Chain A
Amino acid sequence: QLQLQESGPGPVKPSETLSLTCTVSGGFTSSTNYYWGWIRQPPGKGLEWIGSINYSGTTYYNPSLKSRVTISVDTSKNQFSLKLSAVTAADTAMYYCASLDILATAHGMEVWGQGTTVTVSS
């Protein structure tokens, strides 16, 4: 059974780069039927899609974040990662990684990590 687990350094200072990793177990980031994504949720607010990547490294980004976001996949470590540069307090949120299996739930993200809280503060 596919499981995802986010990890990251915790607090981030304004203007720095936020870096998170999602470790995949029970499946492979090299699988051709999966897309791997990042979603965030500011405290008390709704979900915001950040971007996605597939096994070959093709990426899709939220236009509102595109200039600051990089998503990458490391198939050797079975992980995918998020980097968000020049962070501000507005980037404070719970960050989730999630997977989409086009053969199972087509365009729905069925497996989610538990989320990791990122606070941007000096």
Chain B
Amino acid sequence: QSALTQPASVSGPPGQSITISCTGTSSDVGSYNYVSWYQQHPGKAPKLMIYDVSNRPSGVSDRFSGSKSGNTASLTISGLQAEDEADYYCSSYRISTTVVIFGGGTKLTVL
């Protein structure tokens, strides 16, 4: 069982927005703003999309945004495009043990 809880799948038609949740505890997601989001296409390495809850690395589309409320972080993708279809993973730090934890992953299908 993954340390962070994500929905197994989400879907939406092109052009619409979707949100993927990532629920942890007060020992990880809720403690600090260290949540990251990764996109992974089949057969490819993960790609960093969001770091520290809401920051985008250079080159990542502004259609991707992140937020956090309490022990739950969220990734929102607006204006869905076919190329967004992929697996998405959240990660956080568990401060007490200085370890990185991942969510189980969410498969995004663009209908």
B-facing residues in A2-55 (Cβ within 8 Å) = 37, 39, 46-49, 52
Interface footprint category on B: 20 to 34
Question: B102 near A107 (CB under 8 angstroms)?
Answer: no
Question: B100 near A52 (CB under 8 angstroms)?
Answer: yes
What 0/1 pattern do residues 77 to 115 of A give for CB contact below 8 A with B? Answer: 000000000000000000010000000111111101111
Question: B100 near A105 (CB under 8 angstroms)?
Answer: no
Name the one of B2, B48, B93, B104 contacting A110, with C-beta atoms under 8 angstroms: B48
A-B contact count (CB 8 A): 65
Kindly state whether residue B38 has any CB partner on chain A within 8 Å.
Answer: yes
From B11-19, B51-59, B67-75, B76-84, the one touching the partner chain is B51-59
Kindly state whether residue B111 has any CB partner on chain A within 8 Å.
Answer: no
A-facing residues in B3-44 (Cβ within 8 Å) = 34, 36, 38
Which residues of A does B touch, CB under 8 Å? 37, 39, 46-49, 52, 60-63, 96, 104-110, 112-115
14 contacts between A and B (CB under 8 A): A46-B89, A46-B103, A47-B102, A49-B91, A49-B101, A49-B102, A62-B99, A63-B97, A105-B55, A106-B51, A108-B52, A108-B55, A110-B57, A113-B45
